[in-house]
């Protein structure tokens, strides 16, 4: 019997949540009274449902916050990898392509055929 009452209460809350969602999706110029008249709900009843839904979710948030409290403990130290050195500036190339620790420098006397092969190789590598 207790499960039946809890199920009925849960169904009512779900119904009220859907009611509130529908209310929140109403046109901006529609008043509460107009919306309630369309849905055959008296405004005081709707406000009661709204309050109950808000109370229910406020309780859910409070219990969630209580269970998510962070426990502060001793500091932990982790070893970080060595920083990657910054690439050296381009000194003699016209263009430079840098990807991670790799660099391709292109000089002004590169052939067009070689440049197209290089671009194709880079495209396939990705």
Q: Which of 19, 47, 64 is the C-terminal boundary of a domain?
A: 64
Per-position pLDDT tens, the chain of length 126: 567 888 888 888 888 888 988 898 999 899 999 999 999 999 999 999 888 888 887 777 766 666 656 555 566 666 777 777 766 665 566 777 777 777 777 777 777 787 788 777 777 665
Residue ranges making up the domain that contains 37? 2-64
In a domain, 71, yes or no: no
Per DSSP, the three-state class of 59 is: helix
CA distance 5 to 75: 49
* Counted domains in the chain: 2
In a domain, 83, yes or no: no
In a domain, 32, yes or no: yes
Q: Which of 64, 87, 115 is the C-terminal boundary of a domain?
A: 64
């Amino acid at each position: 019997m207790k499960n039946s009452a809890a199920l009925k209460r849960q169904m009512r809350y779900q119904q009220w949540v859907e009611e509130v969602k529908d209310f929140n999706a109403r046109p901006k110029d529609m008043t509460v009274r107009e919306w309630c008249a369309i849905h055959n709900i008296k405004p005081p009843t709707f406000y009661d449902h709204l309050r109950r839904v808000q109370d229910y979710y406020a309780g859910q948030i409070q219990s969630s916050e209580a269970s998510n409290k962070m426990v502060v403990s001793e500091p932990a130290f982790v070893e970080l990898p060595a920083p990657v050195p910054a690439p050296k500036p381009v000194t003699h190339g016209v263009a430079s392509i840098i990807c991670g620790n790799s660099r391709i420098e292109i000089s002004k006397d590169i052939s067009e055929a070689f440049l197209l092969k290089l671009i194709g190789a880079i495209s396939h590598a990705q």
